Structures are given as structure tokens and as C-alpha cells.
Structure 1
Amino acid sequence: MSPLSPLSPILVATDFSTPARHAVQRAARVAHETTAALKLLHVLPGDVLGLLREWLGTDNATESQLLEQGRQQLLQLAQEVGSARHVRQIEISAKAGPIVREILAEAQCSAAGLLVLGARGAGFLRRLAVGTTSERLLRRTLTPLLVVRQTPHEPYRRALVAVDFSPWSAQALALARQVAPHAQLVLLTVFQVPFEDKLRFAGVDAETVEQYRLQSRARAEQELHALAERAGLRPGQWTSCVLEGDASLRIVEQEQEQDCDLVVLGKHGRSLTEDLLLGSVTKHVLAEGGADLLVSTAHAGQDQPTAGEQDA
């Protein structure tokens, strides 16, 4: 599969832990494949600064020393990944302050096309990956987010793209093709028989319910092939997977069964108020899945965010 148009700059936040280094390495691979620029960001957390000021006073030099240390580590990391992954353009930024605010501000200032984080970290990235800080970041970011869980030994081989035919599905598929331009795509959709329990309770016979099930599956298959056709996918570039059941369970199940190293979700579902990042589906995939997770934050036809929207 040939790459699509290059991503805007890729922003990766690091605390220099091993999982964060994996995120940097993956971001560098994507930057090389898409010819995107790469920016490395380190944030000295605001709560740490507060403690330092409380202990040492506001006129101490520790804060500037820590920031300089962060810049030196970023420079070394930039040299390492630039040489290993042949990334031509790498910038660095060391900041201090509230973590989520600084990451969002940097993503907006850089007009980043992708934000990359490690799934776990030794410092602030651990708090980003689990708990309320993660939910705040995911809720507020308008930048697509890649959570790296695996050591990136090679480009993405096989990507599971979960779709529900909402306006977000086409954009999630397009993003998957940008971030993983050489991967075989598995397009997964999960259906359920509408009101099956209520139908049975109302006395609808099993044969009729089974007919509804067959119709639901056929409709899902038809929509899946139509989505792939609109995206310009050729038969050899993708395979279909239509299953019945709970979406969160099926995504993790198929990630493992299909041997995928990347899972791609849209931020929203069919309902504008249904935010998968704050609901059971993404939480389950983050908790139980083993592949990297890519979350698309835009839907088909959506304009690019203007200045100030990201912090709204």
C-alpha cells in the first residue's frame, strides 16, 4: 500500500522511561514512513515544581537546572532516533507546568497531525496512561492519539480498524492508512440484533429472530464493502470481519486472533454524545489489549480545528 499525503508534525511526549522511549521510536518510524517532521516534548510536572518551590523557595535554581537536564536528554534522544530511523527534521521542547495543558498547547502550537504517548511510564506518562489525567487528555485533544504498547521492531504489519459506519469511521480508516501505510487492514464491524431481548420477551419466535440476525449481518457486510470502496481500498489490501456481540470484547478478541499490532478506533460512535474514549469500549481495549491503539478524533467532512478550539 502506498503512503497517503504526509502527516503534519508528529508530537511525542516522553519522560525518558523505557515505555516512553518505545513511543519515541514508533513515532520516528511513522515520521520516516510519512516524511513528517518529529517533535520531542518533555514536561516538568507542575506538582513537582510546586513541591520544589515549597521546599527550596521560589528563587532556587533547581527548576532551570531540571529543564536544562531535560533539554540535554531530548537532544541526545533526537540524535539517536534521527540517526537510527533516518528522520531528517526533529525539534525538541522542554517545558514546565500542568502536563495536560502543556501537551495540548504544544500540539496546537505545532499543528501536530499525531500525538504519541507510551502506554506506561515512570513519571508523568504513567499518570497519563491510567486514571483521570488520561481521560482529561483524551476528552480534550483534537489531535489523533497513538498509544504505544509494544517495542517497535518493524513497521506496522496488520491493523485492525473498528468501524460502525458513523461519520468517524471513514476518518479512522484514512488515519490508519497514514500511520500504517504498509499494513494489511482488517476492517471489523460488530452488529447486534436490534431489541433481541425485547423481541423474545414479546414472544417473537426464534426463526424470525434468526432472520433479523441474518439481515443485520448482510447489511453490515454490505456497508463494510461500501466503506472500503469509498476509501479506494483494493481487494488485496484489506479483509472483512463481521461479528455479532459486544464491541469491546470482539475488538480485543480479533486483535489477538488476527495477529494485529495496531488497533484503530474513532473517538465517537454513531451518536455524537457517545465518546468511546470515555466509555467502556476504549477502556476495555486499553486494559485488555496488547496492540498499539490509534484513536482518530475527526469525522468525515469535519473542518480542521481553529485556534482556541482545542482548549474549549
Structure 2
Amino acid sequence: MAAPTEFSASPLSHSSVADGPILLATDLSARCDRALDRAVVLAKARGVPLIALHVLESAPTTASPAAPSWRRFSEDHRELARYRLGLDLNDPDLKADIHVESGDASDRIVEFATQYGCSLIVTGIARDESLGKLLLGSTVKKLVRHVAVPVLVVKNRPHGAYREAVVATDFSPESRHALQVAAGLFPGTSLLLFHAYETPFGMRRLAEGLGDDAQRDAQMEMNAFLAATPGLPAGVPSCTLVEDGEPETLLSDHVFAQRYELVVAGTRRVKGIMGAMVGSVAERLLEALPCDVLLVRGAEPDAR
């Protein structure tokens, strides 16, 4: 495994992330408690309000048979959900706004994130709950495609602020924007910029030294990418790493071995079959990575 390359950026004007509220999308399951805890940590650290959103099933016929009765919509159930969130968010140092809505979870999340100018959406995964399955798959893809707000999917219980994170890059504009957003959202976090390149089939068997040349070329491309990225504060990223191999596998292995708490990845807003492919990549990352994942849509949405 290649050793990370230390990187020290020149002091540049920092492109600040919009200082809007954080939106917590929760189904009130046990796994979403971790997302709630992380959202509280982030909101208090950044000094911004936290909007907690829970979406009830609009009618019993649309609810999963396994879903508890309080997950189905009625005024009594709305008040119970509001009461539970009120207990969880009862913190004098936190400004929280609680909303319990009915309808489609994806639509309500998009509406609230847009209406309130949120700077971040925080959610969790809960595989044994009907809404949790949506949050892991179609809801995350829909959020990334339809709202230009970073989506943080929380898997692990927080122990303070993120200390270290990996920003995955393929040198695209989307990954450049993801790096800039990560620097703005997590100013105290040490960011490793990670790139995996794949040597063409059979090339590894050619002349000795070819692998070193490919490694050197990839590192040069990494340096050029950073030189062309505006708005990074000094020391961001803290280091870079380029490796030869399949990107998703290498990223998962590195995160596991080094115990990283967060991975940041850029995504594109693409329609049609390509949109489904982009969504499947995001879902595979969510499945494979043992840490929290921040998905950041590109700054320039597809105008088609």
C-alpha cells in the first residue's frame, strides 16, 4: 500500500459553505438515533439550528405490516412522534425545530431542505424498518438528484467531532466540489484526499518500473487537481494518497484498516439510465463502507 503524501496548501480565500440549518430526517428507529446524535453534535459545533423531520405513513394501507401503529398517520400519533423527538432534543445549548409530517418521505425531505435553506441533510439506516430501507436506497438517490444539499448517512455512534475523513476523488468537477464542501462543513477535521487508478489489463506484466511510472503520473495528476481547486484553506487536504486498483475495494479496505469515521464522495445529477447507474454506485458505497458517508452533488446540476 502506498504511503500518504503530505500536502500543504497555500493560504487561499475559503469558499464558505452556506451557514444554514441542519435537517435531520429520522424514522425514530434505533439506528436513526445515531443520526440524531450526530446531527446534534454538528449543529452545536457550528452554532446553527437543527430541524428534525419525521414522516408518518399517510394511511394504514401504505404502511408496512411490520410497522408499529404509531408510525401510521393520525393526530395522536403525530403528537407522540413530536413528544419523542422533544425528549431526544431537549438540550439548552441546541436550537431545535420539530416537524412531523405525512406523505412520501423523499418529497417531504426535499421540500424542507429547500424551504429552510438547509446546509446539510443528516439521516441514518435501519434495515429492519420500512422507511430505513428507503433511506438506504431510493430516498438517498432521490435526495442527491433533486436537492443541492449534501446528504450525510450516519452508520456509527458519534464520539465527538469527526477527527479524520477521506475525500474520494476521480479528479472530476464533482469531486472537486465535494472537497470544497467537506472543508467548509468540517473545518477541524483532517482530510485525506484519496484517488484509485486502475492499470490497463495486462500492463502490470510489462517492463519493470511501469508501475512506478503510473504511480508517479497519478500523483502528478493529483497535484495538478489540487492546484486548480480554489478556496481551500491552508492544510486542506492534510495529505493525499493514490493507489492502483479497483476504487471501491481500495477505499473500503483503507477506511477499515485506518478506522476512518467518514468518507466524502461527489455525485452527479444525471437523468435516465445513467442516473440509475450513479445511484447504484452511491448505494454500493453505503453498503460497503463501515463508516459514515457524505454524498455531495456537483455544484453545476445537469441542465438537461
Read off the aligned partner of 1:291 and give its amino acid letter.
C
SS at match of 2:201: helix
Asked if structure 2 preserves the Cα contact closer than 8 Å seen for 1:3 and 1:178, the reply is: yes
Which residue of 2 is the match for residue 111 of structure 1? 117
Larger radius of gyration: 1
Instruction: Name the SS for the 1:159 alignment partner.
Output: strand
Superposition pairs for residues 55-70 of structure 1, below 5 Å?
63-70=74-81
Task: Please give the alpha-carbon distance, in whole angstroms, between the structure 1 residues aligned to 2:213 and 2:15.
Answer: 40
Give the whole-Å Cα distance in 1 for the aligned partners of 2:170 and 2:245.
13
Distance (whole Å) between structure 1 residues aligned to residue 104 and residue 287 of structure 2: 25
Q: CA deviation at 1:225?
A: 4.2
Aligned residues: 282
The question of whether the paired residues in 1 share the 8 Å contact of 2:52 and 2:97 is answered with yes
What letter corresponds to residue 69 of structure 1 in structure 2?
L
- How far does the alpha carbon of each residue in 1:133-160 deviate from its partner, in whole angstroms, 9 at most, with x for none? 4444444333210000010121001010
Q: Which has the higher contact order (CA 8 A, sep 6+)?
A: 2
1:42 to 54, 75, 84: 54
Aligned residue number for residue 161 of structure 1:
167
Q: Which amino acid aligns with 2:58?
A: G
> What's the secondary structure of 1:156's corresponding residue?
coil
Whichever residue aligns with residue 72 of structure 1, its letter is Y
2:220 matched to 1:219?
A: yes
- Cα pair 1:186 1:238 within 8 Å, conserved: yes
| 1:71 aligned residue (82, 86, 94) | 82
Q: TM-score scaled to structure 2, two decimals?
A: 0.79
Partner of 2:8 in structure 1? Answer: none
The residue aligned with 1:247 is: 247
1:18–1:121 Cα contact (<8 Å) kept: no
Q: Which position in structure 2 is the counterpart of 1:290?
A: 290
Distance 2:40 2:63 in 1: 34
- The percent of aligned pairs where both chains have the same amino acid is 24
Q: How much does 1:62 deviate?
A: 6.8
**Letter of the structure 2 residue corresponding to residue 213 of structure 1:** A
- Distance of aligned partners of 1:212 and 1:3 in 2 relative to their CA distance in 1, 3 Å threshold: closer
Any idea what SS the aligned residue of 2:175 has? helix
The separation in 2 between residues aligned to 1:211 and 1:182, in whole angstroms, is: 34
Q: Given that residues 168 and 263 in structure 2 are in contact (C-alpha distance below 8 angstroms), is that contact kept between their aligned partners in structure 1?
A: yes
RMSD: 3.5
CA contact under 8 A between 1:188 and 1:241: conserved in structure 2?
A: yes
- d(CA) in 2 for partners of 1:131 and 1:226? 35
Partner Cα distance (2:214, 2:61) in 1: 58
- Unmatched tracts of structure 2, length 5 or more: 1-13, 65-71
SS of 2:89 mapped into structure 1: helix
Task: Name the residue aligned to 2:201.
Answer: 197
C-alpha spacing 1:103/1:48, structure 2 compared with 1 (3 Å): farther
1:238 aligned partner: 238
**TM-score between the two structures when normalised by the length of structure 1:** 0.77
> Does the Cα contact within 8 Å between 1:49 and 1:63 map onto a contact in 2?
no
- Following the alignment from structure 1 to structure 2, what is the Cα–Cα distance between the partners of residues 178 and 29? 16
Maintained 8 Å contact 2:57/2:73: no
1:191-222 CA-partner distances (Å, limit 9, x unpaired) = 234xx23879xxx9535954762453243342
Note the residue ranges of structure 1 that are not aligned, 5 or more in a row.
Answer: 53-60
1:173 to 173, 179, 184: 179
Decide whether aligned partners of structure 1 residues 137 and 97 sit closer, same or farther in structure 2, where only a CA change above 3 A counts.
same
Report the Cα distance in structure 2 between the residues aligned to 1:22 and 1:178, rounded to whole angstroms.
Answer: 23
> SS of 1:33's equivalent?
helix
For residue 123 of structure 1, what is the aligned residue in structure 2? 129
Output one character per residue of 1:247-269: Cα deviation in whole Å (capped at 9) or x when no partner.
11121122123331010000139
